[in-house]
A and B are shown apart, each in its own frame.
Chain A
Amino acid sequence: MLSRTADNLYWLARYVERAEYLARILEATQRLTALPLAYVGESNEWESAVATAGCAGAFYAVFSEANEENVTDFLAFSTANPSSIRSCFEAARTNARAVRTALTVEMWDAINGTWLELRRYGNGPTSREELSRFLRWVQESSLRFDGCAYRTMLRNDAYWFTRLGVYLERADNTARILDVKYHMLLPAHEQVGGPLDYFQWAAILRSVSALTSYHWVYRESLKPWLIADLLILKEEMPRSLASCYENIVTNLDRIAAAYGRQGPVQRLARSVRTRLQNSRMDDIFQRGLHEFIQSFIADNNRIGTTITQQYLT
């Protein structure tokens, strides 16, 4: 297939995934900041939302302080922010439109419908209730698109490139939450405990929609090291780094098999996956959680670049 077509499919999927992630962050932050101060401490959760969204640079170029109003606007509706939810959906549709014939009718309807609906929100909701509905809608739109892709696409390279987009973006997002909140997840916090941390932990799990999963997997109250374990090493957890890499490797292997040729990106992805499979949380804590995540983010970016070089240009 045309490299440009594959590129459009890959970014289409990435942007939809990113929009969903932003909605989850905003939702989790909104929830956290609604708690009495005694429960969450003095930390500015809006600041950390900006950091988790990975757009601190762009944000502070415009605003001096992070608060509910400007962070919500910047992450959800700003046209100046190329990674706002609105910009993500715009970019997703632009990509979709460029490869209209490579999409199924259902996928096109899903993304185009989302885009049309988005216009109805104008410059953003006026109330908290409306914002909540909007954030729900964003997540549902992403689910609908993903479901359409899963249920209607031919299982060929077009499908595999959309999957790569989804999982690469997801791995990046999960890693970014861990990167911003890693200090909350260190075992040293075991002693601290208390309601303050509990709500922070719950918020982390919520932002990757894993609060319920946690309980099913561990059948325990929230423990920071278990949260780290769930988000990093548990392959059965759909947004964990391990699960993303299981999927990235599988899809890259399918492409390599179909093309009868593999390249550097297959080797790189396998080595990242192997590292995740062979790690234990104890070792990661010992060598430094922060360093581990930083190096993962770097690897994940390198794989993105290599996919682009190998297939998309």
Chain B
Amino acid sequence: MAVAFDEMTGQDGKLRPAYRELSAWLGEIRPDVLDYRRREAEFLFRRIGITFAVYGEADSQERLIPFDVIPRILSAPEWALLSRGLEQRVTAINAYIRDIYGKRECLRAGIVPEDLVFQNPVFRPEMNGQKVPHDIYVAIAGIDIVRVDDQTFYVLEDNARTPSGVSYMLENREIMLRLFPELFSRHRIAPVDNYPDELLATLQSIAPNTAAAEPTVVLLTPGVFNSAYYEHSFLADKLGIELVEGRDLFVRGEEVFMRTTQGPKRVDVIYRRLDDDFLDPLAFRPDSVLGVPGLMSAYQAGNVTLANAVGTGVADDKAVYSYMPEIVKFFLGEEPILRNVPTFRCREDEHLGYVLDNIDKLVVKEVHGSGGYGMLIGPAADKAMLAAFRAKLKSAPANFIAQPTLALSTCPTCVDSGIAPRHVDLRPFVLTGRDKVRIVPGGLTRVAMKAGSLVVNSSQGGGTKDTWVLDG
């Protein structure tokens, strides 16, 4: 693997301009002061995190996600490129989903194979031919971006269902502002704290036409036992909307109401953090007690907006991912601004042949798997594992894709031994309303805290950083 691109010092060790002030500051600050602030940050997080941790019951300590106090910085031109690319990608995703549940032109044109859609568990036949308010399917997207050099950002994964993590983006910034005011004063950093306002404006803009002038927006959570419950209550609080569970809502005459102490109140927009399967026992899993019976009939009657729409998984599935560049071209007639990680589709004979021959250099992923399950990292695997995976690939090639192992960019990070480069990714959040697309500058930077590790997932010891977008 090539030497990773470092966001502060590039490939050649030369300081990159966006990091000039930060680098100087890191040189000035006394290690004990930095260490003190680091512990203070942890303390503050624990305090905020207390509310998060208690939901985790006994293992509350472990559930705190490490926070790194050294920010990750993007220059204004870099962000301009990213945000144009994100807007393009999400616009294409919306057009694609609308087409899949409508005219199916991209299937007829052979852009995406039919079976990849129809056999896909996340495709929802129930959405076929249903109109959604203002044709917006994915109002909230989290697009995972990785960087490999000065010029190149790749999209690693699209999250078009119920992307999470935005509460960390907001809290990371709050804590940095409290701890490092002098560092902020040396930069002009685009704010992120307007995200809740932008989200609310987005949600209100996609209210159904039958809604009142001041549409009622609620956040639907699976409940306190969900691992993201803290984020749900955090967002509901910041947006000033009710945090509801399925049992708080009911359907009458194809409208959705919430039970309040002042009687039933009509609900127009549901920001739902509950998976499709559980939304409505009359349409999906009949054993779901988390959903709202009849919700789909109100949805189909056009009296309520679900954000995101039902069935958006058909756009963020790993199997569909490799077709995204073609999807962008087909629907927008433009070249994709953000590239995909080169991906081999094992369902295609040529690709399969290449993958079998080069499996020791590739990452092989199961298309419907997630969270790193059913994944092979070729360079790290022994002979037996490689052989086992070759056999798996041959027996069901369509279930797999393969990608080269990427040298993700690194960022200076506080670790026990001092400051050292660690691999990072970025999840910006893209809001699509009826009026426009809104992207708060930045996003959630995840960092692999272990040296050399490429795994940024919080479940595997990954941490987070504040993400700064320099203003001009």
Contact = CB atoms under 8 A, between A and B. Distances in A.
Q: State yes or no: do A and B touch (Cβ within 8 Å).
A: yes
Interface of A: 1-4, 6, 97-98, 100-101, 108, 112, 157, 161, 255, 259, 261, 311-313
A259 B258 CA distance: 17
B54 A259 contact: no
A9 B305 CA distance: 30
A34 B54 CA distance: 41
A292 B233 CA distance: 47
A311 B261 contact: yes
Given A1-B242, A4-B247, A255-B261, 4 more contacts: A4-B245, A101-B237, A259-B262, A311-B261
A157 B224 CA distance: 23
Interface in B440-457: none
Interface of A is mostly: helix
A2 B233 contact: no
A100 B260 CA distance: 17
A2 B224 contact: no
Contacts of B359: none
Instruction: Give chain B's interface residue range (CB within 8 Å of chain A).
Output: 10 to 19
Interface string B221-242: 0011000000001001100001
Contacts of A98: 223-224
A4 B259 contact: yes
Interface of B: 51, 54-55, 223-224, 233, 236-237, 242-245, 247-248, 258-262
Contacts, number: 42
A2 B242 contact: yes
A30 B361 CA distance: 75
Contact of A3 (B55, B233, B237, B259): B259
B219 to A, nearest CB: 11
B55 A313 contact: no
Nearest to B223: A98
Contacts of B233: 100-101
B262 A2 contact: no
A2 B236 contact: no
8 contacts: A2-B244, A2-B248, A2-B260, A2-B261, A4-B244, A4-B248, A101-B236, A312-B261
Contacts of A312: 261
Contacts of A259: 261-262
A89 to B, nearest CB: 14
A161 B260 CA distance: 13
The 8 A-B residue pairs with the shortest CB-CB distance, nearest first, are: A3-B259, A311-B261, A6-B261, A101-B237, A101-B233, A259-B262, A4-B248, A1-B261
Contacts of A6: 261
Contacts of A255: 261
B27 to A, nearest CB: 39
Contact of B55 (A4, A97, A101, A161): A97
